[in-house]
Amino acid sequence: MTAPSIRARVRAEMIDEIKAIARQHLAADGANLSLRAVARDLGMVSSAVYRYFPSRDELLTALIIDAYDALGAAVEAADAGTTPDDLRGRWHGVFRAARRWALDNPAEYALIYGSPVPGYAAPRDTVEPAQRPPVVLVGILRDGFTSGQVTPPPADELSDPVRADLAAISDLIAPGLPEALLARGMAAWTQLFGLISFEIFGRLNNGLDHRDEYFDHQTRLMADLVGLP
Amino acid sequence: MTAPSIRARVRAEMIDEIKAIARQHLAADGANLSLRAVARDLGMVSSAVYRYFPSRDELLTALIIDAYDALGAAVEAADAGTTPDDLRGRWHGVFRAARRWALDNPAEYALIYGSPVPGYAAPRDTVEPAQRPPVVLVGILRDGFTSGQVTPPPADELSDPVRADLAAISDLIAPGLPEALLARGMAAWTQLFGLISFEIFGRLNNGLDHRDEYFDHQTRLMADLVGLP
DNA sequence: CTGTGTCGAGAGCAGTGCTCTCGTTCCGTA
DNA sequence: TACGGAACGAGAGCACTGCTCTCGACACAG
């Protein structure tokens, strides 16, 4: 890797600056991001932005990938910061880290987990970073299973076709994990997403004031569901 | 209620027609609904639509309320069509009805359960219809509790502040339901929302082909969680 | 029958994404 | 070191959007 030319470095800085301003607009105005407004804030004309992003959707895609990576990094860091054998500690740490990141970055959370933008199809680049949080979750389950701390549910609680589907998924993200346990892990992941979405999108504004404790309680229910000791 | 004048009846029909066309556009183009395009399809000019809806947001709000009511009606009809004592039958019926409606009306589902439109605050009119599906769910739990078929979880699995919050919610939508059972019902409701959202928003496009069975399995896990016999 | 209020059409304003053109500046290569 | 191509920013312009205002036509209540 040779030293990047001044132009390349300036270009990289420009891209970062555009994304930073765009993130601010996102937080202020929501998903209907105005490329012209971003350009104005940068002191340049809208057509100049097109030197860096071929379209508004491409800019949004870049922000989406960044958001996935930021959430994934936060979750992985939380998991890495706990003692590996303390499964419940890891579990709660991961759940809390995901919620914390979402509460700190609600606009970006809405961007990646809200309704997809109409004509917008998620590019291939987004599927890998999008899998990081659930992979961490099932990683805890796999550790528990291999160490014997977690007893998997009976395999026959799954119908054959579903078990086959889950076996394929298991091969990709958590080889060796029993399908019935993976199914419960996915239930927990679905629950985590639903809990955060309800809170971020204001569906808990009905007198549920102690949200930290409520979240922890639901996290505990899911820990029980997957069989953490 | 006197007979409505011709003008009033024509106006009501016009409102319905606008909403019908708008729903078509919603299904085709997603949430960025163009009022002008709707007007074009109706053979009139955009300013004429403003005689019926004061703004695009008001039109969207009307569609949102209709969507909430349609989903609520579908769920309630499913619950009413089963035998009251068969709690698990009712449970699965409600879950399936909600999913069915969402799969049949993905754009409207995204409208009410996707990321909220930026500057858009849900009007008061939407909170009551929005509560209909969860109310049906906890209704099953309350029936099971009062009939003795469902044994509530130990009350001390909840911290005091959360139990107080849940007691207030319980008073509103399911008086007499133990808080710990309500908490599990809300977990099930969160799970239902998450399951549908993952499927509608394409987050299950990873080899999970037998979605009906997968959905039923997760529904069963939630039935176990809330303690249905 | 007459005045009031509703209706639809049209023009217009400010904003949007995006394209194209035109000088200017940078930078690898000869 | 000089040059030619590439990258860059500015500006004009197109088609579109939500929304407002005005104006003529019609319906309806008194």
- CA-wise closest residue to A193 among B196, B211, B122: B196
Per-residue confidence at A117, pLDDT binned at 50, 70, 90?
A: low
Q: Across the interface, which of B30, B110, B161 has its CB nearest the CB of A213?
A: B161
Average pLDDT (A17-35) is 94
Compute the distance between CA of residue B196 and CA of residue B184 in angstroms, rounded to an integer: 18
What are the per-10-residue average pLDDT scores of chain B (229 residues)? 67 96 93 95 97 96 96 98 95 98 96 77 78 96 97 96 96 94 98 97 87 98 97
Residue A113 has pLDDT above 90, yes or no: yes
Q: Which residues contact B120 (CB under 8 A, 6 or more apart)?
A: B57, B60
Place of tokens 């809208």: A46
Q: Does B128 touch chain A if contact means CB atoms closer than 8 Å? A: no
- Contact yes or no for A159 and B190 at CB 8 A: no
HEC profile for B180-203?
HHHHHHHHHHHHHHHHHHHHHCCC
Mean pLDDT of chain A: 93
Percent of chain A's residues with pLDDT above 70: 95
Q: Which residues contact B128 (CB under 8 A, 6 or more apart)?
A: none
Cβ contacts (< 8 Å) between B207 and chain A: which residues? 165, 168-169, 172
Question: Chain B interface, mutation test: which of A124, A127, A182, A191, most B Cβ atoms within 10 Å?
Answer: A191
**Which residue is nearest nucleotide C19, judged by alpha carbon to C1' distance?**
A47
Which nucleotide is closest, CA of A59 to its C1'? C17
- Enter the tokens of residue A46: 């809208």
Alpha helices (H) in chain B, listed in sequence order: 6-29, 35-41, 46-49, 56-80, 87-104, 106-113, 127-130, 132-146, 160-173, 179-200, 211-226
Cβ contacts (< 8 Å) between A111 and chain B: which residues? 115
- Contact yes or no for A30 and B214 at CB 8 A: no
- Contact yes or no for B165 and A119 at CB 8 A: no
Residue A3 has pLDDT above 60, yes or no: no
Compute the distance between CA of residue A128 and CA of residue A10 in angstroms, rounded to an integer: 29
- Residues A189 and A115: beta-carbon distance below 8 Å: no
CB A51 under 7 Å to nucleic chain C: no
Compute the distance between CA of residue B117 and CA of residue B187 in angstroms, rounded to an integer: 25
pLDDT tens digits, A62-102: 999 999 999 999 999 999 999 999 999 999 999 999 999 99
Q: What confidence score (pLDDT) does residue B1 get?
A: 39
Compute the distance between CA of residue A33 and CA of residue A25 in angstroms, rounded to an integer: 7
Q: For residue B44, what are the CA distances in angstroms to B18, B62, B69, B163?
A: 11, 20, 29, 55
Q: For residue B61, what are the CA distances in angstroms to B117, B121, B142, B219?
A: 11, 10, 32, 31
The three-state secondary structure class of A115 is coil
- Contact yes or no for B221 and A161 at CB 8 A: no
Exposed, middle or buried: residue A104 (CB in 10 Å: 0-12, 13-18, 19+)? exposed
Distance A36 CA to C18 C1' (A): 11
Which nucleotide is closest, CA of B50 to its C1'? D19
Cβ contacts (< 8 Å) between A202 and chain B: which residues? 116, 122
Compute the distance between CA of residue B71 and CA of residue B109 in angstroms, rounded to an integer: 9
Residues in chain B: 229
Sign of the torsion formed by the C-alpha atoms of B113, B33, B29 and A48: negative
Q: What confidence score (pLDDT) does residue A115 get?
A: 85
Whole-structure pTM value: 0.94
Q: What is the DSSP letter of A116?
A: P
Q: What confidence score (pLDDT) does residue A160 get?
A: 96
Cβ contacts (< 8 Å) between A184 and chain B: which residues? 221
Nearest-5° Cα angle at A23, A17 to A26: 145
- Count H helices and E strands in chain A, helices first: 11, 0
Q: Does A157 touch chain B if contact means CB atoms closer than 8 Å? A: yes
Q: What confidence score (pLDDT) does residue A116 get?
A: 77
pLDDT tens digits, A27-62: 998 888 999 999 999 999 999 999 999 999 999 999
Nearest-5° Cα angle at A23, A18 to A29: 120
Question: Chain A interface, mutation test: which of B162, B212, B221, most A Cβ atoms within 10 Å?
Answer: B162
pLDDT tens digits, B11-62: 999 999 999 999 999 999 888 899 999 999 999 999 999 999 999 999 999 9
